[in-house]
Amino acid sequence: MSSPRQTLTALIAGLLLLPSMAVVAAGKCDRLIVTGSPDAPPYLWRDPQDPRRLMGANADLLKEAATQIGIKVEVLFGGKRSQALEEVRTGRMDLLADTPLNNAELESLDFIHPPIAQNEIMVWTRRGHAQPFNSLADLRGHPGAMSEKTRITPGFDSAAKEHLTLERQPNLTQAFQKLMLGQVEFVLAGRYAGMALTQTLGVANDLTAQPLPLDRPGLYLALSFNSACNDPWLRGQLAKKMTELAASGRSSEAITRNLELWKAQLQQSASPTNQ
């Protein structure tokens, strides 16, 4: 039977271990493997210098936040959007960096609030278009187009399917080409993606965005239920950093910086030396 002295010694030893055990628990995840859409500039897109990786505003902002909480981040290509979602859902990757809030995914992902960025969906028309397109009602009866890759909120998607004549195109370039040819009267596209692409295609003087966004889907960080990194401490830290980010204006700065970078990459790839 243990003596009182032995019992006290064991108790003290156990208490001394508690701080180190807490450090291990809080720091069990020191690296996050992150993925997202490989074709959603300026938020995320595939790095042309290293196609294994993704780059963009969301990658920059997440890395900044992760550094502040002492976690390393790798933002890797996980396939097209649906494949990236599956990689995270199964836990092969830890986190999505640019996913819209989707009720169907709440069974497998923890969404971090507030969103890391917001995407303003604008109505793009030919410059000088006389018809005002400032609301969903204004678009009724007019043929339009939208890239299949453009993400909108579920409510807006349902309303668009019910009320609009909207052709879904494989990409935004083809949607804008139909607008230039007069085959549609408007295109629904993100403010920044549309801005970059019209300049890259040389049609910035021909196409313009109407002043008011019709939809503002948030782009969220989402941790997999099956990630070993998913714990209350990390979720709380990420939510804290996203709250600070929303109040700082750094999101807009990162978007602007990456928009210019993406435009430069597109122009470089289109130059004669790369053809």
The two domains 29-119+218-274 and 121-209 share their CATH topology (first three levels equal):
yes
The whole-number pLDDT of residue 269 equals 77
CATH of 121-209, one of 3.40.50.2000, 1.10.15.40, 3.10.180.10, 3.40.190.10: 3.40.190.10
Q: Assign a CATH topology to domain 29-119+218-274.
A: D-Maltodextrin-Binding Protein; domain 2 (3.40.190)
Model confidence pTM above 0.95: no
SS (H, E, C) the chain: CCCHHHHHHHHHHHHHHHHHHHHHHHCCCCEEEEECCCEECCCEEECCCCCCEEECHHHHHHHHHHHHCCCEEEEECCCCHHHHHHHHHCCCCCEEEEECCCHHHHHCEEEEEEEEEECCEEEEEECCCCCCCCCHHHHCCCEEEEECCCCCCHHHHHHHHHHCEEEEECCHHHHHHHHHCCCCCEEEEEHHHHHHHHHHCCCCCCEEECCCCCECCEEEEEEECCCCCCCHHHHHHHHHHHHHHHHHCHHHHHHHHHHHHHHHHHHHHHCHHHC
What are 218-247's pLDDT values in tens digits? 999 999 999 999 999 999 999 999 999 999
**Which parts of the chain sit beneath pLDDT 70?**
1-28, 270-275
The whole-number pLDDT of residue 21 equals 34
Give the residue extent of every domain in the chain.
29-119+218-274, 121-209
The whole-number pLDDT of residue 200 equals 81
